[in-house]
Amino acid sequence: MPATPRAASVLDEIIAGVREDLAAREQALPLDALRDLVADTAPALDPMPVLRGPGVQVIAEVKRASPSKGHLADIPDPTVLAARYAEGGAAAISVLTEQRRFKGSLEDLRAVRAAVPTPLLRKDFLVTSYQLWEARAAGADLVLLIVAGLDPHELAELHAEAVSLGLTPLVEVHDEDEVGVALDAGARLVGVNARDLRTLEVHRDAFARVAPRIPDGVVRVAESGVRDAADVADLADQGADVVLVGEALVRTGDPAVAVRDFLAAGAGAPARPPL
């Protein structure tokens, strides 16, 4: 009897849409032309010295929508929000570029790059090297690589190519087993996402459970489900070096004040040792 096909997860559906949109962009702008754009782009910034600093650092996200919550905030000009994040002391700014579920774009990334000097993360579902070149051409300094969306060989190849382009990969995991895959690929910046992208459920114990598997010298990022300064303080106690926050910041009255509050809540965490 043939095996029953696995039901597509939310992550599978998102990646299918990403591949369709990617094919259209590749047809409009061939890789050779994209490489020419990268040649004229300023070198990427290195975010690691700040992310390794004392206290819990904040990566603040420009995020209009999400698959789990739908519409989150009207952001007519992402540069205004990014400037407030930078004023508040964000160590990096994450810009969503996935267009179907998150309503982001590479145009948002380019606009934010022109507006702030802060290191920028391209937040998307990267599955090919073309997207790394896109990220660099648009001014990104970091890229997200999701273990659950790639096989180990793909992850290792994309990680190596990202580093060769000067990009810093943030490698996202959801469980203990994925930590080993991330480390084997060379990750030195590992994010623990409390939201299971297959089901969209948030598991608030995820960071406390998974972070001990991440060795000293590798920067630990807590992703998803960070609601307020109290959560940041708890994550600091659990060993977080960085929190990546979107919804709680785009829905606040003053993003700069909120970033400062988060930084204050995590101020007691020690600096990370070097690799």
Q: Which residues sit opposite 223 in a β-bridge?
A: 193, 244
Helix (H) / strand (E) containing 140: none
The residues that are catalytic are 61, 63, 123, 172, 193, 223-224
Helix (H) / strand (E) containing 70: strand 70-71
pLDDT value, residue 88: 97
Question: Which residue matches tokens 């997207």?
Answer: 131
**Phi, psi (5° rounding) for residue 215?**
-70, 160
* pLDDT > 90 fraction of the chain, expressed in percent and rounded: 81
Confidence of residue 275 (pLDDT cuts 50, 70, 90): low
Q: Which residues contact 212 (CB under 8 A, 6 or more apart)?
A: 239
> Regarding predicted confidence, which is higher, 197 or 128?
128
Question: What is the per-residue pLDDT across 115-124, written as a single tens digit (0 to 9) for each?
Answer: 999 999 999 9
Q: Report the mean per-residue pLDDT for the chain.
A: 93
Helix (H) / strand (E) containing 245: strand 242-245
Comparing CA positions, the residue from 229, 233, 235, 148 lying closest to residue 196 is 148
